[in-house]
Each structure stands twice: as C-alpha cells, then as structure tokens.
Chain A
C-alpha cells in the first residue's frame, strides 16, 4: 500500500475531492454543533493560550522558570509535577528517593505550593496542572495557596487534568479503584462549579492514549467515551444539572504529524461532543455543548535521529492545531526525546507558536478550511469512525469495564505495535529514521541536570514543616477526611482543611487508601 492511500488511522483517501463528498454544509463558526469552531470570529477575539508545560526540581527552581516564561510572553502556566506527587508519595518516602523532582516539581505540603506561586498574580494568570490521582489534593493546595496570597477562590482560573480513566489505561498514575476515584472527581466538579467557577475541574485527556499508541481516531473516541463516563457519574448523583457543570469540562490531546487527519479529528470531536451533550443529556445552552480543548504538539511524533527535524514537525503540528480550533497549546521542545528541555529549546518552542499566531496570518479568519471538500469529507468520516468505536466500547460494558478487564489497553497495545512495525519496516515514512537517514551523531546538549542539592533542600523543608505544624490538628483533620471518605459528603472541604493544617500529600492519600484500597492493574501486552 502506498503512503498516499490512507491516513495513519486507516481512513482511505482519494486523490481528489469534490462537492458530492461532503455530507452537508456545516453551520457558521460559533453555531451548534461547532464543527467550524466555538467562536464566531475565531481567534480574532481571543487567540489560543500559549501554555508551555514546565516544572522540575524544587518549587524555588520552578517558580524561577515560571516567572521567566511569563516575562517572555507566556500567558498561562502549566505545572509539571514529579511522579511521587502524582502517585501520592511524599518526598521522604524511601520508595521514591530517586524520583523526587525528576520529571516535575515536588509538592509535599501547602508550603511548597506557596513557594511555587510566589509573586505570580493568580487572579490574572491561569494555571494548568497535569495531575490526576492526586488532583483533588493539588486543587486544595492551589486554592489554599491563592487564598493565603489574598486571591479569593472565585477569581482563580486554570485546569486540573483530573482524568483518572486514561491513567488506568495508559499513563499509570492511578491510586484508588475506579469507583471511589470517580466519586472524588465528581466532588471536584461540583466544588468548582459552586466555588471556583472560572476553574476547569477536569481536562479529559486523550493525549496519553495517543502517546501510548492509539491512533488519532481512537484518541478522540476513547476521550469522548471517558467524558461521557464522567458526565454520567456526576448526573447520577443528582446534585447538578448538565448545564451547571458541562461548561467546566475541557479536553486535551496530542497533535501528531498527519496534517489533515489532525484537523479533521478536532473538527469531528467538537461536533460529536456537542451532539452528545445535547442529545444524550438534553443540554440546550451553547456553553454546555462547547468542546474546548488544549493540545500538545510533539510527544511520540518526535524522534531522536536528526533531532533538529523536530522543530519543523512541531511547527506543522502547531499549525494543524490552530486550524483545528485549539484553545490552548503547548509546543514541545525539539530535544524532548533526549531529556528535559533546556531554557533555549523551551524558548524556541514558544517562539514557534508566537510566529504562527502573529506572522502567518492564521488567526485572521475563523476556520479558514471550512467548506473544503476534502476537510469536510474527512471530518465526516472521522466522526463516523468515532461513533463506531464509542458504540463498541458501550457494547463491551462501558469504559470502566473496558479498563478493568484490559480490553482498552489491548486495543492501544495493538495499535502501538502496528505503528512501530510500520516505522521499522519503512511503510510509515519518518524523515531521518526510515527515509534520508544519516549517521549524524546525537546533538551535544546542554540539557537540564538534576541538582542533587535540590532533593536535600526539599527533604529539609518537609522535615521543618512537619516539626512546625500542630500535630494534633493534623491527626484530627486526617481522621475527619477518612470519616468523610466513608460517607458521601463532598471531600473538597475536608481536603482543604487538611492542606491548611499542613498535612502532606502522602498522609492524605494514606487516609483515603485506608478506606478505598488500591487499583489492581490488569497486565496486557
């Protein structure tokens, strides 16, 4: 089969498209079902947010990097947390010594959050946290840190990822079984809708399905299926209507290299979600039906050989994302396949989307590809395939079932293996890897080196916090958290109480694990 016959997701493509290939003319941008974008004037009224994922080592180091990114014209923060924080361990847990501060910043207590955001105007800057298992705890830390800095919770903007289902299937930072985890997510959704109305309580993330191997169509289908599961969970509790919380549900994806497939993915996803929210849940307002998403350009679409080629890949991916109507974008650094990016490569990645936004003219017209015979046909076909995959998952018993028995993981592993074999076999072209390969040595990189003193400072601070805090208050609030977990009350209140008493992330997780137990992973390959 030639490279030209189909997209990487297997959608057949013909050499020419004409007016008969489109299903129907989509309504104007800003009109339901939003195929052509959420906003009437596209990016003219509001550009996408430039949001570079960043964070490493200690809160002090990350705080300096955040201030630097904001000085360079970044308009939002994206906080990378280290794996112990994501999985619910404190920095002083002997099990995780090697991973403190390694792939993100360590947060053990409110003290760390206060340092991390020191001097950053949280009423003006939106903050996105890639956090899932411990998302509710980090949200509690953020709210408490902001309030101590004089910013009321009602003014906070940003997102916690808070999408546990994809963690079970592909990213791995789960802690508790699906049922209590879904309850905690519903607690955060209700809490934000009531008290932090400008903050997105969940960013349903397909990105990690994609990085684990799913193709573009699967990525969108699995993500929407997760979104349905979360909405079903919240609605089943009967405390909120879809109109009240759907506006705070957002999405997150990877944009990879197949230009039109990615654009069609976003257009189809936007239309499908709007249709689901209206038809399945009966929402009537545009705000509830709107599919708002962020993306990363990079990830598994970047390669180590001829690494500078990644700059070009990211630029095309960023353009596809903008043509797909993205609300916020992270452009990955070209050296990401090797190590944590340097300040220089991070800046270049930010410049890539600034050039796209300000020099290319892409932001002038809403959905400039709307009405293209090919793009509309590919959007229609992508949506049809998304519907098919979602129906298959429903037949299987829903997402939780598909995760618990490993069905979903199997689908992703199959696709990952197929892609790997196509690249090794040369049928999926990758420049520098299976086309135009060279013996160019790996670049001499000045990448970020972990500061071994950083972990020591983190441990010292944690010890100091533990020594200074009121031990009786800590015990009382952790006990109250455990009791609340046994019942059905919203856990955000007890969590904020714990955070304000300087309970550690690990202590709060342990209190909940004592009630809920741990997730047992199915092993599928």
Chain B
C-alpha cells in the first residue's frame, strides 16, 4: 500500500500554488496524497493526520508565520499520540530559520526553489523510516 501524505496549509495565507504542485508531484510519485485546502486550524490538521493515518505531514507556509505554526503542529501531533508522524515544512523560509525549524522537530525543510525531485526523495526516505511502514 502506498504511504499516505497530508499536505496542509495552516494559518490564513491562501497562496496554495506551491502546496498543490508538491501534492501533485507526490501523487505522481506514487504516494496517496490528502490535501487539506487552505486556512486550516492546526488542531484540524492534527486531527486529519491522525484520522487519515498518514506517514508524513507537509506544511506549506508563505506568510512568515512558519516557526510558530510548525511548532504548534508538532506539539499537537505529540499530544495526540502521533509523534511518529514526520512533519516537513515548505514555503518562503529564510535560510536562518531552517535550523530553528529543525530544532523544533521538523524532519525536513523545503524553502522556495527546492527541486520537486528533492522533495519527493526526502519524503520517500521519511516514509521508509516510519515504523508503520516496516510492519
């Protein structure tokens, strides 16, 4: 069964061009992709991730609020007992914030301009690490 990925847009920013392109590239690469649509509350994203039993949550954030929204999502997943779900972040991310996102628990960060095959390869690596896949 292909691994499931949740592509999510937290916060109020409606720029979903990148999220949709990544969602489609992941689907073309064989993943089962769920896209939340825009303007999702973090608790709704966490609930969707748990309900859909995804291996990876990909957050797309262009508003500049990536640090807080990523941290909130990771905390929410842990609190829901789903800390094994990897969280990756893409969007308008200044280079200086990449280590900060990693410290907050992001498994990978894809700033604007990251080639799609890099995104696909890293997400694939994460799904292979995920415990639910090795069972």
Residues of chain A having any CB pair with chain B under 8 Å = 83-84, 86-87, 89, 95-96, 98-99, 102-103, 167, 170-173, 211-213, 300, 303-305, 337-339, 413, 416-417, 420, 424, 433, 442, 450, 521, 523-525
- Given A99-B11, A413-B24, does the pair A420, B116 have CB atoms closer than 8 Å? yes
Question: How long is the Cα–Cα vector from A167 to B39 in the complex, in angstroms?
Answer: 12
Question: How long is the Cα–Cα vector from A170 to B38 in the complex, in angstroms?
Answer: 10
Are A96 and B37 in contact, CB atoms less than 8 angstroms apart?
Answer: no
- Stretch of B13-21, B51-59, B127-135 contacting A (4+ beta carbons < 8 Å): B13-21
Q: Which of B33, B36, B37, B65 has a CB less than 8 Å from the CB of A99?
A: B65
Please name 28 pairs of A and B residues whose Cβ atoms are closer than 8 Å in the assembled complex, sorted by A. Answer: A83-B13, A83-B63, A87-B12, A89-B12, A98-B11, A98-B69, A99-B13, A99-B65, A102-B65, A103-B13, A170-B14, A172-B12, A172-B13, A172-B15, A172-B16, A173-B12, A173-B14, A305-B113, A338-B92, A338-B94, A339-B64, A339-B94, A417-B20, A420-B21, A424-B115, A524-B20, A525-B7, A525-B27
Are A337 and B12 in contact, CB atoms less than 8 angstroms apart?
Answer: no
Q: Which of B19, B35, B112 has a CB less than 8 Å from the CB of A337?
A: B112
* List of A residues within 8 angstroms of B1 by Cβ: none
Are A98 and B14 in contact, CB atoms less than 8 angstroms apart?
Answer: no
Q: Chain B: which residue is nearest A171 at the CB level?
A: B14
What 6 pairs between A and B have smallest CB-CB spacing?
Answer: A172-B14, A83-B12, A525-B20, A98-B65, A523-B37, A525-B23
Known: A89-B12, A99-B65, A420-B116. 14 other contacts (CB 8 A): A83-B12, A87-B12, A99-B63, A172-B15, A211-B15, A212-B17, A300-B17, A338-B92, A413-B20, A413-B21, A417-B24, A525-B7, A525-B24, A525-B33
Question: How long is the Cα–Cα vector from A424 to B113 in the complex, in angstroms?
Answer: 9
Are A521 and B35 in contact, CB atoms less than 8 angstroms apart?
Answer: no
Nearest-Cβ distance from residue B99 to partner chain A, whole angstroms = 15
Question: How long is the Cα–Cα vector from A170 to B12 in the complex, in angstroms?
Answer: 13
Are B12 and A442 in contact, CB atoms less than 8 angstroms apart?
Answer: no
Nearest-Cβ distance from residue A416 to partner chain B, whole angstroms = 5
Are B16 and A212 in contact, CB atoms less than 8 angstroms apart?
Answer: yes
Question: How long is the Cα–Cα vector from A83 to B112 in the complex, in angstroms?
Answer: 21
Q: Chain A: which residue is nearest B62 at the CB level?
A: A103
Quick one: which of B22-43 are within 8 Å of A by CB?
Answer: 23-25, 27, 33, 35-39, 41
* List of A residues within 8 angstroms of B64 by Cβ: 102-103, 339, 450
Nearest-Cβ distance from residue B40 to partner chain A, whole angstroms = 10
| B125: Cβ under 8 A from any A Cβ | no
| B79: Cβ under 8 A from any A Cβ | no
Question: How long is the Cα–Cα vector from A468 to B27 in the complex, in angstroms?
Answer: 55
Question: How long is the Cα–Cα vector from A99 to B115 in the complex, in angstroms?
Answer: 28
Nearest-Cβ distance from residue A166 to partner chain B, whole angstroms = 11
* List of B residues within 8 angstroms of A167 by Cβ: 14
Quick one: which of B49-105 are within 8 Å of A by CB?
Answer: 63-65, 68-69, 92, 94-95
Question: How long is the Cα–Cα vector from A192 to B21 in the complex, in angstroms?
Answer: 40
Question: How long is the Cα–Cα vector from A261 to B13 in the complex, in angstroms?
Answer: 30
* List of B residues within 8 angstroms of A86 by Cβ: 12
* List of A residues within 8 angstroms of B33 by Cβ: 525
Nearest-Cβ distance from residue B37 to partner chain A, whole angstroms = 4
* List of B residues within 8 angstroms of A523 by Cβ: 35-37
Q: Chain A: which residue is nearest B72 at the CB level?
A: A98
Q: Chain A: which residue is nearest B68 at the CB level?
A: A98
* List of A residues within 8 angstroms of B115 by Cβ: 424
Question: How long is the Cα–Cα vector from A417 to B27 in the complex, in angstroms?
Answer: 12
Question: How long is the Cα–Cα vector from A89 to B11 in the complex, in angstroms?
Answer: 12
Q: Chain A: which residue is nearest B10 at the CB level?
A: A98
Question: How long is the Cα–Cα vector from A442 to B92 in the complex, in angstroms?
Answer: 13
Are B68 and A172 in contact, CB atoms less than 8 angstroms apart?
Answer: no
Most chain A C-beta atoms within 10 Å of own C-beta, residue among B16, B63, B69? B16
* List of A residues within 8 angstroms of B11 by Cβ: 83, 98-99
Are A521 and B12 in contact, CB atoms less than 8 angstroms apart?
Answer: no
Nearest-Cβ distance from residue A292 to partner chain B, whole angstroms = 26
Question: How long is the Cα–Cα vector from A87 to B9 in the complex, in angstroms?
Answer: 15
Question: How long is the Cα–Cα vector from A163 to B20 in the complex, in angstroms?
Answer: 23
* List of B residues within 8 angstroms of A212 by Cβ: 15-17
* List of A residues within 8 angstroms of B25 by Cβ: 417
* List of A residues within 8 angstroms of B95 by Cβ: 442
Question: How long is the Cα–Cα vector from A99 to B17 in the complex, in angstroms?
Answer: 20
Are B38 and A172 in contact, CB atoms less than 8 angstroms apart?
Answer: yes
Q: Which of B24, B63, B94 has a CB less than 8 Å from the CB of A102?
A: B63
- Given A98-B68, A98-B69, A413-B20, does the pair A424, B38 have CB atoms closer than 8 Å? no
Are A416 and B69 in contact, CB atoms less than 8 angstroms apart?
Answer: no
* List of A residues within 8 angstroms of B17 by Cβ: 211-213, 300, 416
Nearest-Cβ distance from residue B64 to partner chain A, whole angstroms = 5
- Given A102-B64, A413-B24, does the pair A424, B14 have CB atoms closer than 8 Å? no
Are A521 and B21 in contact, CB atoms less than 8 angstroms apart?
Answer: no
* List of B residues within 8 angstroms of A338 by Cβ: 92, 94
Are A87 and B39 in contact, CB atoms less than 8 angstroms apart?
Answer: yes
Question: How long is the Cα–Cα vector from A337 to B112 in the complex, in angstroms?
Answer: 9
* List of B residues within 8 angstroms of A442 by Cβ: 95
Q: Chain A: which residue is nearest B115 at the CB level?
A: A424
Contact digits for B99-122, partner A, Cβ 8 Å, 1 yes 0 no:
000000000000011011000000
Question: How long is the Cα–Cα vector from A246 to B47 in the complex, in angstroms?
Answer: 47
Are B41 and A95 in contact, CB atoms less than 8 angstroms apart?
Answer: yes
* List of B residues within 8 angstroms of A433 by Cβ: 113
* List of A residues within 8 angstroms of B38 by Cβ: 172, 521
Nearest-Cβ distance from residue B83 to partner chain A, whole angstroms = 22
* List of A residues within 8 angstroms of B27 by Cβ: 525
Are A417 and B65 in contact, CB atoms less than 8 angstroms apart?
Answer: no
Q: Which of B16, B19, B20, B113 has a CB less than 8 Å from the CB of A304?
A: B113
* List of A residues within 8 angstroms of B7 by Cβ: 525
* List of A residues within 8 angstroms of B19 by Cβ: 525
Nearest-Cβ distance from residue A346 to partner chain B, whole angstroms = 17
* List of A residues within 8 angstroms of B63 by Cβ: 83, 99, 102-103
Nearest-Cβ distance from residue B59 to partner chain A, whole angstroms = 13
Question: How long is the Cα–Cα vector from A211 to B13 in the complex, in angstroms?
Answer: 14
